[in-house]
Structure formats: structure tokens, C-alpha cells
Amino acid sequence: MHTSVMAPPYPSHRVGRYGHPNSYRNNPQRRAYLGQKYGAKNRGIEFHFTFEEWAKWWENHLGPNWFKMRGTKRGQYVMARKGDKGSYHPNNV
């Protein structure tokens, strides 16, 4: 008797990149987090937030609609470092 194994709905080498529930493409908050993380890296600034810590920081400071309130336009909020020095760390923003 032959048994078949069902393949996952997406190739395993693409988990976390395409079609996976945690994919940044499916999650605008995760895209924003990665944008800030890699933006800091490109400027030579260390970034010490996990996605969960980062999202919780925003929610604690701006409330449940935090994502609509953050940004770089007039009237929006940004995460800034104390004195614009040091790393992005929960104790320094």
C-alpha cells in the first residue's frame, strides 16, 4: 500500500517570506518595524527591539490605534532616541 504525504501550501524554503501568516508582505506593522530596524542599521545605529516589544511600545504610548498615528508627516509621531544618541532600546526612546 502506498501512502502519500501532502505538501505544505507553500514551499518550506519560503516560510516567513511569501504567503506565510507572519510574512511582512501580509502585515503592514511588521513592514514598518523592519523599515525602522533596517533604517537604523543603515545609519549605523543599533536597534534592540523585537517586533513584539516595538509594537507594544507604540501601543503603550499612543493607544490601540497607534499604527494610524505614527509616521513622518505633520501631526504624526516618531520613535526618537533620548538626545538623539545611543541605540534604539526600550530604555532609550
| Sequence spans of domains, the chain | 14-84
- pLDDT tens for 25-65 read 679 999 999 999 999 999 999 999 999 999 999 999 999 99
In this prediction, residue 26 carries a pLDDT of 78
When pLDDT is cut at 50, 70 and 90, the band that residue 6 belongs to is low
Q: Is the pLDDT of residue 81 over 70?
A: yes
How far is CA 65 from each of CA 31, 34, 59, 83, rounded to the nearest angstrom? 17, 19, 8, 27
Q: Is the pTM of this model over 0.95?
A: no
User: Within 10 A of 48 (CB to CB), how many other CB atoms are there?
Assistant: 16
